[in-house]
Amino acid sequence: MRVEQIAVFLENKSGRLAEITAILADNGINIRALSVADTADFGILRLIVDKVELAKTVLKENGFTVGKTNVLAVEVPDRTGGLATVLKSIEEAGLNVEYMYAFVNKTGENAVLIFRFEEMDKAIASLQQGGFTLLSGEQICAL
């Protein structure tokens, strides 16, 4: 249930994010989730898209540094305490979260939490044992 995510390194200057999203749009690539983290000099744009390999290729062709990694997508009810329940389970399993971000799907009934863990296999086993629903990349794109 690993989801492929691309990470794009970009200079922290005006217009770079717009350029990336235009390149993806021009190539028919749909962004399903994203996160931006920045420092004074550069940013990291993390994306879950419907056409991972094409996105990686067209961004590289346009001069961007692009990496690919696996993350986990956990679906939880969109209600008070949903995130806390997952984080408690993660803490009890002794897992370290490298980073996370989230989005709410169109129905508004569920939220999807995107996690990157140091120990991905242990995280998968622990979350499944805890009764949490893990989504595939295809499922995220279908939301």
Tens of pLDDT along the chain (143 residues)? 899 999 999 888 888 899 999 999 999 999 999 999 887 778 899 999 999 999 999 999 999 999 999 999 999 988 899 899 999 999 999 999 999 999 887 666 889 999 999 999 999 999 999 999 999 999 888 87
- Domain span at residue 137? 71-142
Say whether both 75 and 43 belong to one domain.
no
Say whether both 23 and 76 belong to one domain.
no
Number of structural domains the chain divides into: 2
Bridge-based pairing state of the strands 2-11 and 42-49 = antiparallel
* End residue of a domain, out of 45, 69, 93: 69
- The CA–CA distances, whole Å, from 26 to 31, 55, 80, 82, 103 equal 12, 11, 38, 36, 24
* End residue of a domain, out of 40, 69, 98: 69
Say whether both 42 and 62 belong to one domain.
yes
Please report how many Cα atoms fall inside a 13 Å half-sphere around the Cα of residue 131, on the Cβ side: 2
Say whether both 64 and 80 belong to one domain.
no
Model pTM score? 0.89
